[in-house]
Amino acid sequence: MKTTVSTKGQFVFPAEIRRLDGIEPGQEFDIERIERGEYRLVRREPPRNEGLVDWLLACPVKDFFVPIASESTDSL
């Protein structure tokens, strides 16, 4: 597949590759220069709990998740 580098040094993943690999806006990649004209892109792993809070807040049951009172640790 072919893509073109913009004047800002950006390039676009073709839609088919994005679809096949589940690449979404905002995902980060590392780029490694192998040699002149040859490069390697590796998708960075998202932080382990990325999206967890949004997922929990999307619970369809209103007020399912509520804050819990914490106890003082002064006596420990």
Q: What tens-digit pLDDT sequence spans the chain (76 residues)?
A: 888 889 999 988 899 999 999 998 888 999 999 999 999 999 998 777 777 777 777 777 777 767 677 777 776 6
Q: For residue 29, report the phi and psi dihedrals to the nearest 5 degrees.
A: -135, 150
What is the extent of the structural domain holding 14?
1-67
Give residue 34's pLDDT: 95
Give residue 16's pLDDT: 93
| Domain annotation covers residue 29 | yes
| Domain annotation covers residue 76 | no
Instruction: Give the largest CA-CA distance in the chain.
Output: 65
Give residue 33's pLDDT: 94
The rounded distance, in Å, linking the Cα atoms of 11 and 39 is 13
Give residue 60's pLDDT: 75
| Domain annotation covers residue 31 | yes
The rounded distance, in Å, linking the Cα atoms of 51 and 70 is 24
**Is-contact 1 20, C-beta < 8 A?**
no
| Domain annotation covers residue 58 | yes
Give residue 76's pLDDT: 66
Q: For residue 56, report the phi and psi dihedrals to the nearest 5 degrees.
A: -65, -40
| Domain annotation covers residue 73 | no
